[in-house]
Amino acid sequence: MIFHRFILGSFVTNCYLVADKDTKNAILFDAPADADKILDYLKKNDLTLKKVFLTHSHFDHILALQEVIDATKAELFLHKDEEKYLKNPELNLVAEHCDKLNTPESYQLLSDGDELPLDSINIKVIHTPGHTQGSTCYFVNDILISGDTLFAGSIGRTDFPLGSFDNIINSIKTKLMLLDDETKVYPGHGFSTTIGKQRKENPFLI
Ligand SMILES: [Zn+2]
Ligand SMILES: [Zn+2]
């Protein structure tokens, strides 16, 4: 599996691209900013972007979404509880940070436990409400894309509209902590880590 991390935008947001190394079909997790950097990478590596999955719809994860979708015609996926955030500038914080943001009209809604294979890549949807109601982590073959739910040494903020501290803790403890210690975790901000390290060291979980 091809794996690449982009660090994009003024909120220093991680965005991950995975691709099948034989078919060159690619999947993107979030589209934070700088669409040209994402599109250049696809072109240089001869990759075809097929799907974009959102970990959640806060503005710092979707600023380049419309441009990336327009340029690639990739299918967009997000959790069903996140749909209201995508269109609502108060909920997705666009109102606070930018003038206006166009977002795609066409997308497919996900539920907890959905599995979406693409060639050699399997994506399993893990609904982890708390940071937002539709926050989602994706188990991709054997790694975890954790969005703004679980960070190295921290967890996502829950003081945004409709956030819930109890829910995020419950999501992490009852869903993410079921994964093996060796599972690599790739968060929406900051460094990568492992489930085992967070189980032992994350101050919100011990
Ligand atoms: Zn967020
Ligand atoms: Zn974020």
HEC string for 92-132 = CCHHHHCCCCCCCCCCEEECCCCEEEECCEEEEEEECCCCC
Ligand 2 mean position, distance from CA 135 (Å): 11
* Nearest ligand (C-alpha, residue 188): 2
* Nearest ligand (C-alpha, residue 30): 2
Residue whose token pair is 């749909």: 83
CA 106, 122, 164: angle at the middle one, nearest 5?
65
Q: What is the mean pLDDT of the chain?
A: 97
State residue 198's pLDDT score. Answer: 98
State residue 99's pLDDT score. Answer: 80
- Residue 27 near residue 34 (C-beta atoms within 8 A): no
State residue 124's pLDDT score. Answer: 98
- Measured CA to CA, the distance from residue 174 to residue 40 in angstroms comes to 39
Ligand 1 mean position, distance from CA 167 (Å): 15
User: What are the structural domains of the chain?
Assistant: 2-201 (3.60.15.10)
The predicted-structure confidence for 82-112, as pLDDT tens digits, reads as follows: 999 999 999 999 999 988 899 999 999 999 9
Ligand 1 mean position, distance from CA 36 (Å): 22
The predicted-structure confidence for 59-76, as pLDDT tens digits, reads as follows: 999 999 999 999 999 999
State residue 185's pLDDT score. Answer: 98
**Above 90 in pLDDT, residue 173?**
yes
* Nearest ligand (C-alpha, residue 9): 2
